[in-house]
Structure 1
Amino acid sequence: MKTLGVIATLCGLSAAWMPGVHKDIYSKEGKNLFEKSVSSTRKRYLPGSGKIRGVNLGSLFVFEPWIAETTWSSMGCGNQNSEFDCVNSEGQDTANTNFSDHWGSWIVEEDFANMTSYGLNTIRIPVGYWIREDLVYTDSEHFPQGALSYLEQVCGWASDHGLYIIIDLHGAPGAQVSQNADTGQFADTPGFYVDYQFERALQFLEWMTTNIHSNDNFRNVGMLEIANEPVQDSTQVGDLLSSYYPNAFSRIRAAESALNVTENNELHIEMMNNLWGSGDPTQYLTDNYFAAYDDHRYIKWDSSVAVSQDNYISTSCNDDRGGNTPTIVSEWSLSVPDDVQWNSDWDPSTNQEFYKKWFAAQVMTYEKQDGWVFWTWKSELGDYRWSYQDAVTAGVIPTDLDTVYDLGVC
């Protein structure tokens, strides 16, 4: 098994695990984005923080209607559960036009300038397998077409602004969970866990890997997540662990080898960690070089945590997200249980101080691992607990993220 080397520290924090290998990244203007870093040995990363500090681009390429109901309705999808349902209802041509308008307006270049001004260094982009259009069974599957050029544009803008990029296979063929729009379809049952669906996902991963290494717009993509939130505690995870994960590693590495990608420039391959409940992702891996692990922590849905402000902060301060290494907590929020979220003790308009402290508690804990990615950058909920940019505007999230350590919360 290969191991990562010892890495220098940055800005008082231990450096993240992505640096330490030999890859400079240049903007389109030819500027070396790493010219101020303490080490010249970097891989698709930027100076300024030793931990991943990022946001998800939720509802951009995998639309979750609850995040942006107004936009969803304006696209003619208001009565539909998912992208699959909307395209099937509208027809391919109409849906293509409406989704194209969405992709071109939901995230714009100014968003990336704002992210970097807020001290963020990473974005995570959820995508569906259907962005590779020849994988779609057009007689039975219905997804919008034309997203690849917008993904290229978004990654190009993010790279120009020096952001590290994680591309996440959020919607797998057949759907990895049932009745959830975050798979792109509201499937009655999870249909992903059979060989022919695995094969379609593997073909997607090979294709995306080739794009990443061949297209300058993708130059800051350093990580590819191979399945977001698979089923938990199910007999289906056996094949996921024993077949899909090892084959994903071998197929991604083979695609890189075919392009003569050097070992130090290979992608980090990310899986849900053991805490997710789908088993130990390393169980059948024979080589986990540049592996990474994803942890999602939504305390609002953890029934074992007593619902009080003091307990939420205490829980977050003492939350052990360890296990598989390196782990990134790449989905979390400031949202609280639905039945109390607008009560006087939790109302975001009158409890900014609590949410400020709870944000700090979570950040400090997740930075005991390799960092975090907030869900999500923007929403139409009018609720900053799900919207990073709105929480900054509300004064709940500081633009100098290092100051969370000065609040004395934990």
Structure 2
Amino acid sequence: MPPSSSERRPAMKISLASIALAAFTRVVSAGIPDKIYGVNLGSWLVLESWMLPQGWLDMGGQSCSDCSQCIATEFAFAQAYPHTVDNVFDKHWTTWFTQDHVDQLQAAGINTVRIPLGYWLVEALVDRNTEFFPRGGMLQLARGLKQLKAAGIQAILDHHALPGVQTAGQQFTGRCTSDVQFYTDYNYHRALVWTAVMTAVTHLHSDFGSVFAIEAVNEEIMDASQTPGYGDFQKNFVKTVRATELALGISVPEAKLSLNVDASVNFTSAIDAAASTSGNNIFTSEVKAALKAAIPILVEVSNQLGMGFDLEASLHSREPLVTTFMDINWQFNSPANPADAAIGPQGYDNHLYYSFGGVADANPNAYLESICNLNRVQADAALGNSPLWFGEWGLPTQFNATDDFLFKWADAQKLAYSQGKGWIFWNFNVESSELAGDLGRQWSYLEGLKRGYFTRDPSQVHDRHVCDPYKANTTSISA
């Protein structure tokens, strides 16, 4: 998440579906960690130019105070440089996240990464007449996941940038614009197709074996009155994941399906048979449309990844993915409760940045009093939003923080977020350059390790009593 001043295809023949499904190697799935100690791989497959100011200029991008008015995002870059964008971004993807970074994260005890992804990763979903993005990201994702899997680091696939843009004026959506169109039937459908494709690829591609969760939407608009239909989308998102898994023969808690069709041989027939099953409320019209649209795209993705055939392996050892949403307290104005959408394992994500204001007064004591009395985990659990993890947080402040304070600030946040399922720092790394200045001091986990703000063992802190002077004697204070 960047610093901010504001908040159709028709189904194809069965034989093609068989090819798509056969083109992946079956794998044993990852389980959710007992406690998440993680980092985001931000600005890798969804580039946020504020995190690499010099690198972005070197690529050919621009910097401006209003990111909608210059080449500050992937959309604007691809629109400006249609003939070179793919090669330029391939170089960025290759160098921004490397085997050396994986080795450093493994040595630091990180057990989880959250990988921000744009809808354009599934290239067939992009309308090339009106939408402009680089191509080739799926290959890079597979490369990175293979390296992470070898290191024993598990992954969350985070749909960070949605079709139509889910939040105005943000680099993390891939396009800075005030014209927010995600909350429409057309783009809800495209997001569900993305979900079906990524669920299938996750279960069928060997390099994706460490993925345990898929997140529906990163940071939807906070005002629920501006997100019409989002509650229905949440339910359809879960049903799309579960329908895909059921069609693949994966056992899903709270959902059963008996088919006479072998999904490893004929995915289309499996979907059709499941969809016609009487009394099954998972295969809604929206879900069926998404699954059918996903079939030809899986053919393309299998060709893109160049996978071989493995018809004999079984999918039955796979665990269902943990469907994930921003927690109910992310929105106001009577939001839908994502807990109402749950079918099988589900997790909840909250992001907390004090540097953007609205949480505590801009001074060290107020920050520590707030975080040391945080009751978000308990408040969410009371509404069924458990397990909760904090998928984005950082060390930035609204005041000039001393090193002594940052030691305390890191400890206090880790202790607060570990009351839940755990934490995922934003970001694993940022650019080190004269133009970036001291950006890494408060935004880079790897830099924080070097400076000693973070302990070498992420489960530990420097001072377990850091919050003792700040804890309220009675009712906890909610952030």
Report what 1:305 is aligned to.
Answer: 360
**Aligned counterparts, 1:184-223, within 5 A:** 184-223=174-213
| Cα displacement (A) at 1:203 | 0.1
AA aligned to 1:298 is Y
Shift of 1:160: 0.7
Amino acid of the structure 2 residue aligned with 1:365: A
Aligned pairs for 1:128-207 (under 5 A) are 128-207=118-197
CA distance in 2, matches of 1:407, 1:284: 33
Q: CA deviation at 1:183?
A: 0.4
Identity %: 30
Aligned equivalent of 1:385 = 442
CA RMSD of aligned residues (A): 2.0
Q: Is the 8 A contact 1:226 1:271 kept in 2?
A: yes
- The AA in structure 1 aligned to 2:442 is R
Secondary structure of 2:57's match? helix
Q: Matched residue pairs, number?
A: 357
Q: Which runs of structure 2 are paired with 1:75-90 in the superposition (5 Å)?
A: 75-78=59-62, 79-90=70-81
Unaligned 5+ segments in structure 2 are 1-24, 63-69, 254-318, 468-479
Partner AA of 1:252 in structure 2: V
Structure 1 residue 141, shift from structure 2 partner: 0.2
Q: Distance in 1 between matches of 2:357 and 2:149?
A: 36
Which TM-score applies when normalising by structure 1? Answer: 0.83
Aligned residue for 1:168, secondary structure, equals strand
Q: Which residue of 2 aligns with 1:261?
A: 250
CA–CA separation in structure 1 for the residues paired with 2:369 and 2:222: 27
Are the structure 2 counterparts of residues 74 and 253 from structure 1 closer, same or farther at C-alpha, using a change threshold of 3 Å? same
User: Per-residue displacement from partner, 1:376-397 (whole Å, max 9, x unpaired)?
Assistant: 0111243320010011111111
Shift of 1:116: 1.8
Aligned partner of 2:348 among 293, 296, 299: 293
Matched, 1:277 2:352: no
**Aligned partner letter, 1:269:** T
Given that residues 305 and 315 in structure 1 are in contact (C-alpha distance below 8 angstroms), is that contact kept between their aligned partners in structure 2?
yes
What's the offset of the Cα at 1:307?
A: 1.4
Q: Deviations over 1:343-368 (max 9, x none)?
A: xxx2xxxx222101111100001010
**2:96 paired with 1:106:** yes
Larger Rg belongs to: 2
Higher deviation after alignment, 351-360 or 260-269? 260-269
CA distance in 2 between partners of 1:286 and 1:59 (Å) = 30
Q: Which has the higher contact order (CA 8 A, sep 6+)?
A: 2
1:318 matched to 2:373: yes
Tell me the residue number matched to 2:407. Answer: 356
Asked if 1:44 corresponds to 2:95, the answer is no
In structure 1, what is the equivalent of residue 292 of structure 2? none
- 1:60 aligned onto 2:10: no
From the superposition, tell whether residues 44 and 352 of structure 1 become closer, same or farther in structure 2 (CA, over 3 Å).
same
TM-score scaled by length of structure 2 = 0.71
Other structure's SS at 2:246 match = helix
Tell me whether 1:127 sits opposite 2:117 in the alignment: yes
Q: How does 1:216-235 map to 2 (within 5 A)?
A: 216-235=206-225
Aligned to 2:167, the other structure's residue is in SS state coil
Aligned residue for 2:290? none
Distance (Å, rounded) in 2 between the aligned partners of 1:364 and 1:284: 25
- Cα deviation, residue 81, structure 1: 2.1
Separation in 1, partners of 2:347, 2:464:
30
SS in 1 for 2:325: strand
Q: Which amino acid aligns with 2:424?
A: V
Listed one character per residue, the Cα deviations across residues 72-128 of structure 1 (whole Å, up to 9, x for unaligned) are: 11111125121000110111x300010000001100012112112112110000000
Q: Deviations over 1:227-283 (max 9, x none)?
A: 000011142334101x21111111111111111122371000101101211555536
Secondary structure of the residue that 1:193 maps to in structure 2?
coil
Among residues 298, 323, 331, which one is paired with 2:392 in the alignment? Answer: 331
Residues 286, 331 of structure 1: alpha-carbon distance in 2 compared, 3 angstrom cutoff = closer
